[in-house]
Structure 1
Amino acid sequence: MAPEVVSRVTLGPRLVEYELYSPTLREPTALRILFPAAYGENTARFPVLYLLHGGDDDYRAWTDKGGAAEATQSLPVIVVMPNARNGFYSDWVKPGRYGRTAWETFHIGELVPWVDSTFRTEARRESRALAGLSMGGFGAMSYAARHPDLFSAAASFSGALDTNVYTFIPGIAARRDGGARGSIWGDRATNATRWRAHNPWDLAANLRGMTLAVRTRTGLPGPLDRDRRPDPVEAIVFHESLRFHRRLAALGIGHTWHYGPGTHDWPYWAVDLRETLPILHKAFLRPPPIPSPVTHVSAEPSYRAYGWEVRVSPAHMEFSQLSDADKNGFSLTGRGIAHVRTPALFEPDRTCTVTIDQLHTELTADSAGRLDFRLQLGRRKPGTVRVRIGVA
């Protein structure tokens, strides 16, 4: 079901605040949207930037504190600023003050389709980007890595980009929204896979082929600080952002990296936004190509990436990885029985020769030009199956 508009209030020449009733959240939720100055002058369509707030803030923060309206004044971009409370842009596994809040399902499954069906957007991956600060930096990179079919660019400002290190941070967020420490992804000791399934550092390989920017400060007082004391919060996210930067570099994934003195505060995030917008605008004008071949890692029982579909049974949280996937074949690593469907890469109803490890067989593409595979992976521990495809 789609969300329903409860109210609409015009706050400025370009700024409109909406309240939506979300079937997923089972309650109203608010968001702000900045429209391009030329939105009402013609019938052109525009790309969309989803701009995410940090913890202890809400959907109003970027316009009230971060200068988002001024920074985007001349850009032909729709800026959507949704709410997420302290929910870490995730579906909670335990209830808090607002129940088992399903922020990811709302943002990805309801909000993005609603925006595309309601406004004149360029409703395609190449015309969607994410950016956010702190918790929102986590959200931007996590959403981009978990849903690469939807976004082609992501930026993090002082982001919590590796929850493997400072595991107490999501617990603080959960408690501030009335939940127990493990309300978001479960207790870390017994649910490490679920934590890693959302963690940008663990999912970094999925960001290949995207325009990426990572900006942070060190926590030492900088030029925009009146208080000359060090900031331990920014020091923590600097360490997380640095680890994420090094992870991207090790994987050979290009990105913009910036750091310098400064604290966990709005004067720096306003600068981050202003200096990152040209990078995102360039990505909209000249989108990066979809990676080929495709590699995607996930701990979900089923997932999609660039038209490839993977479903693993039994259905539980465990990592699998699709690697080197193109029209010539792919590899899949994991445990259990996997069902893999290719994109429409082949001539419809054409017979293809297939080699699965050392076994040769033939498969016929369906009417859409896709092939379906049923593969036995490792039984007790992860194993890899290699598939090669040719045309008969």
Structure 2
Amino acid sequence: MKKKRTLMMSVGARAVRSLTAARTRSGEFPGRDQTLAFLGPEPTGADAEVFHVREKRKLSSRLREFFVYSPSLGRTVGVRVLLPGIPSEVSDVIHLFHGGGDDFRSWTDLGAAEQITADSPYLVVMPDAGAASYSRHRFPGTDLDWPRFHTEELPAFVADRYFVNPERSGQILAGLSMGGYGAMKYAALHPDEYCAAAAFSSPFDTLAAVPLFDIITLREGGPARSLFGDPKRDRAEWLANSPVALAPNLAATDLWFSAGSGEPDPDEEGASVDVLEATVHHHGERFHSRLESLGIPHTWLPRPTGSHTWVTWQRELAAWLEDLPRRLFEAEARGASGGGAGSAQGGGGATEAGAAGTAGSGTMWSSADGAPFSYVTGDPVFSVHGWDVAISRRRAQIVTFADVTPSGFTLNGAGTFRITTPALYHPTGTYRIDISSPLTENVYNLRADPEGRLHLTGRMAGALHDPIVPGRRTRHFRTWGQEEITQVRISPIDGDGGDGPITSAGTNDLHRRT
């Protein structure tokens, strides 16, 4: 095991060095000074609390470069933006992420993104991602919240500056290598915000790529295992950041991913097998199998040749972009009809598998069809489709917020919960709340707030607690209760009374408001 890990570390480091060497040989990078010394010291005081542009440049008729200060990162980073090749009044946005060892310039300096998108109607945003963890990384003296920068601050900046579609239907994610990992993870964490995600040569199973994440951690400047913790002791944290584990959330997202086999292309005489590409190819197979088992439509393109290089990624970006308008149109049509897509076999090994739209499959709830949705997460506090959920717990755990409709939902895990629903209920209407958990059967009446939201609280399984004497005999305390299911049912009460006490709270009413 140690020998295998050493080999993976060596392969990862070699890949980073080769990418840097490719930039040097091309003479295209750095196109401008890599340091930010010309901007002066980082903002302090009130300026450090606000996202703002510190410098902007026009590099070509379509390419813009910004240096922005991000409170989520506590520092200034770069962002490049490609204006649509085919202008329109309102444009959809592609968030295009770079891989490890690269930066916000890479897709245009080395990936030919400007040329490939020349006939594209999309606004392409290429932000910096540091060492490319696409995760929150905290260690002494540093707190880098990359997800917040990429999914909150940056979309707000783009929507404020350009005429773009800020709705889910206009927000698209894509990336190469670690950038593809980030695209799929963000899509899974925010299924109500992004309609499509694509990944080229990317890892998807964090627990199968521990050495790779060790490299990312060290390159970010943090100590080993400071990103997700120990893979055994903090397994839930690793799963919470794994697209494979979060796959159920992707049922309503258009998914496209590809990888080469690692074998050289026919025109690469004398080239050896690319071990890194072969490794991420296995990740693609694993992700494909997981999605297929869940019945989630997707396109998986396992290429018979191809290495972990820009030649591969330029080809994949062009292929995905060419097919994207059709895919988005068909996805929108499926969503409008409430139906799923059947299995289809495409050329080049492409597979679209399964069907979405069944109860509890992960599809998005809407007032039009009433289909339930499910959401998997490792976060104790999250928001999805208008539901705000906070779970008080002692240890990390993977939680499934399942079969969610205005009539109720289920939660697995231990601890207590506090949930605010969307505005689905009659304002100030009274509702009966039935909570069935391993600990108790609790029934109470609750009044919706003036906006039609309900504010629910309840107990799940026994709170996870730390054993007094850690060891094999007390190991079960770490996971006890995580598989237990708590059922919550919400039903209207005629009139403004009921058998139980009325508490001020708020959330939507079971009856649709007209």
In the superposition, the TM-score normalised over structure 2's length comes to 0.71
1:125 to 168, 174, 182: 168
The question of 1:310 aligning with 2:389 is answered yes
Structure-1 residue corresponding to 2:455: 372
The question of 1:200 aligning with 2:301 is answered no
What do the CA deviations read for 1:149-208 (whole angstroms, capped 9, x no partner)? 321111111111101112111101222333322132233343222222111111111111
Name the stretch that deviates more: 50-59 or 379-388: 379-388
Q: Indicate if the aligned counterparts of 2:423 and 2:453 stay in contact, CA closer than 8 A.
A: yes
Structure-1 residue corresponding to 2:257: 214
Q: Secondary structure at the match of 1:92?
A: strand
The question of 1:281 aligning with 2:325 is answered yes
Q: Give the Cα–Cα distance (whole angstroms) in 2 for the partners of residues 155 and 298 of structure 1.
A: 21
Q: How far off its partner does 1:360 sit? A: 4.8
Structure-1 residue corresponding to 2:198: 155
Q: Give the Cα–Cα distance (whole angstroms) in 2 for the partners of residues 374 and 85 of structure 1.
A: 39
Structure-1 residue corresponding to 2:121: 76
Q: Equivalent residues in 2 for 1:175-186 (5 A)?
A: 175-186=218-229
Q: Indicate if the aligned counterparts of 2:206 and 2:241 stay in contact, CA closer than 8 A.
A: no
Q: Indicate if the aligned counterparts of 1:15 and 1:34 stay in contact, CA closer than 8 A.
A: yes
What do the CA deviations read for 1:43-69 (whole angstroms, capped 9, x no partner)? x12111100001111111111222211
1:45 to 87, 90, 96: 90
2:429 to 322, 342, 350: 350
Q: Give the Cα–Cα distance (whole angstroms) in 2 for the partners of residues 237 and 359 of structure 1.
A: 48
Q: Indicate if the aligned counterparts of 2:414 and 2:481 stay in contact, CA closer than 8 A.
A: yes
Q: Indicate if the aligned counterparts of 2:99 and 2:132 stay in contact, CA closer than 8 A.
A: no
Structure-2 residue corresponding to 1:239: 282
The question of 1:269 aligning with 2:313 is answered yes
Q: How far off its partner does 1:334 sit? A: 1.2
Pick 1 or 2: higher relative contact order, CA cutoff 8 A, min separation 6: 1
Q: Indicate if the aligned counterparts of 1:335 and 1:378 stay in contact, CA closer than 8 A.
A: yes
Percent identical pairs in the alignment equals 35
Q: Give the Cα–Cα distance (whole angstroms) in 2 for the partners of residues 193 and 279 of structure 1.
A: 36
Q: Secondary structure at the match of 2:186?
A: helix
Q: Give the Cα–Cα distance (whole angstroms) in 2 for the partners of residues 388 and 279 of structure 1.
A: 43
Structure-2 residue corresponding to 1:138: 181
Q: Give the Cα–Cα distance (whole angstroms) in 2 for the partners of residues 219 and 90 of structure 1.
A: 27
1:331 to 410, 415, 428: 410
Q: How far off its partner does 1:224 sit? A: 5.5
Q: Indicate if the aligned counterparts of 2:134 and 2:146 stay in contact, CA closer than 8 A.
A: yes
Q: Secondary structure at the match of 2:131?
A: coil
Structure 2 unmatched ranges of 5 or more: 1-48, 336-362, 365-370, 463-479, 494-514
Q: Give the Cα–Cα distance (whole angstroms) in 1 for the partners of residues 209 and 449 of structure 2.
A: 48
What do the CA deviations read for 1:12-67 (whole angstroms, capped 9, x no partner)? 1111111112222222100110011354xx7x121111000011111111112222
Structure number having the greater helix percentage = 2
Structure-2 residue corresponding to 1:389: 490
Q: Secondary structure at the match of 1:93?
A: strand
Work out which of the two has the higher radius of gyration on C-alpha atoms and give 1 or 2. Answer: 2
The question of 1:87 aligning with 2:132 is answered yes
Structure number having the greater strand percentage = 1
Q: Secondary structure at the match of 2:143?
A: coil
Q: 1:344 to 1:276 in 2, by over 3 A?
A: same
Structure-2 residue corresponding to 1:63: 108
The aligned amino acid for 2:400 is Q
Q: Give the Cα–Cα distance (whole angstroms) in 2 for the partners of residues 153 and 159 of structure 1.
A: 16
Structure-1 residue corresponding to 2:373: 294
Q: How far off its partner does 1:276 sit? A: 1.0
Q: Secondary structure at the match of 2:400?
A: strand
Q: 1:133 to 1:309 in 2, by over 3 A?
A: same
The aligned amino acid for 1:276 is W
The question of 1:363 aligning with 2:449 is answered no
Q: Secondary structure at the match of 1:185?
A: coil
Q: How far off its partner does 1:280 sit? A: 3.4
In the superposition, the TM-score normalised over structure 1's length comes to 0.92
Q: Give the Cα–Cα distance (whole angstroms) in 1 for the partners of residues 93 and 297 of structure 2.
A: 22
Q: How far off its partner does 1:361 sit? A: 4.2
Q: Give the Cα–Cα distance (whole angstroms) in 1 for the partners of residues 63 and 380 of structure 2.
A: 40
Structure 1 unmatched ranges of 5 or more: none
Q: Secondary structure at the match of 2:121?
A: coil
The aligned amino acid for 1:368 is E
Q: Indicate if the aligned counterparts of 2:217 and 2:225 stay in contact, CA closer than 8 A.
A: yes
1:6 to 17, 37, 54: 54
Q: Indicate if the aligned counterparts of 1:181 and 1:187 stay in contact, CA closer than 8 A.
A: no
What do the CA deviations read for 1:60-79 (whole angstroms, capped 9, x no partner)? 11112222112222222110
The aligned amino acid for 1:306 is H
Q: How many residues align?
A: 387
Q: Indicate if the aligned counterparts of 2:191 and 2:252 stay in contact, CA closer than 8 A.
A: no
